[in-house]
Structure 1
């Protein structure tokens, strides 16, 4: 029964927020396209600088990996983004800023992926998929859900809903719990990126 109720909740949530999902995904895709075009029109000096960074990234497989430090740093980066989106949802002007975050995330994803492929050859596809794409699928999905929840909450603050406002603290609590769940799922991506990705890099060194 609980499984059926959860499925119904998900379906209703998607139906009620379909337009928000479309808009958020559109901004992410726009960011991806902008990232791709940025790589295509970069000057040689900038490309060389980034290629040096990539080489240092790939060399991680040849050194002792500070797993704990890497996990904390990666978690904080993702945690801060989600907390910012959560905070924006508590304001009536948070929607455009939430969409900007989605745009930037898409840009980063598109830029990184295409630059890796264009600069380090055929084996980069396997490296990117195993080390970058898999955790970023989790990050991006959670970012989409978090952004939609933030937009939904922010829009609810704008609408004149007496019963909704009377239960404001309860609604904030539910909203926060959903973000805690999102952060928990995001940690799976962080764990993969920290403990699995570096070991895949070793296979290509």
Structure 2
């Protein structure tokens, strides 16, 4: 019964914020396209520098013991901090465009990484990108979109309340935001564990 309540709540949330999800997805996809094209039109000098960096990364990954703990803390810094930043922007009046910018940058990073890996290794690069980039991002992307939509809705409501002279929020609304933050961070943590302990081992096995 409780599971059904969660599903119903999520479904209702998506229906109520459908267009915000569309906008968030649009910026994410735009970022992916920009990332792909920026890689395509890079100068040969820049490509060579990135290629050298990529090759050194592959050598380190295959020749040394994987520093899972270092990857873990780096993943926390890169992802948990972004989630907190998105929610923080949601309580500001100028948060909405900055939240969309974060979506754009996230998409750009994914598009550029996949495009670069394929450009360096061809068909093997595609397999490497699918295994090394996509698994954790299947978790990260919905979480970033969910956090973005909740924060954009909060920012819009704040602007609306300010325009109509309502300057206070209901306690239930604050509780919902806190629960949303905790839930999203919990789900992101699964992606961080995958990125830190599962993906590197699979990549090392395949590269060897």
- How does the TM-score come out when normalised to structure 1? 0.93
In the TM superposition, what is the alpha-carbon distance from 1:170 to its structure 2 partner? 4.1
Moved over 4 A (4+): none
Q: Give the stretch that moved more between structures: 47-56 or 35-44.
A: 47-56
Q: Distance in 1 between matches of 2:68 and 2:92?
A: 37
1:114 maps to 115
> Is the aligned partner of 1:96 residue 2:89?
no
Q: Distance in 1 between matches of 2:53 and 2:143?
A: 27
1:47 maps to 47
Q: How does 1:16-35 map onto structure 2 within 5 Å? A: 16-35=16-35
Q: Distance in 2 between matches of 1:165 and 1:175?
A: 17
Q: Give the stretch that moved more between structures: 153-162 or 90-99.
A: 153-162
Q: RMSD in angstroms over aligned alpha carbons?
A: 1.7
1:194 maps to 196
Q: How does 1:64-75 map onto structure 2 within 5 Å? A: 64-75=65-76
Deviations 1:121-178 (A, max 9, x none): 221122111111111121111111110011011111112399x854445423321221
Q: Distance in 1 between matches of 2:24 and 2:36?
A: 19
Query: Structure 2 vs 1, CA of residues 174 and 165 (structure 1 numbering), >3 Å: closer, same or farther?
Result: farther
> Is the aligned partner of 1:79 residue 2:62?
no
Deviations 1:98-124 (A, max 9, x none): 000000111111011011001122211
- How does the TM-score come out when normalised to structure 2? 0.92
In the TM superposition, what is the alpha-carbon distance from 1:58 to its structure 2 partner? 2.0
Which stretches in structure 2 are left out of the alignment for 5+ residues? none
Which stretches in structure 1 are left out of the alignment for 5+ residues? none
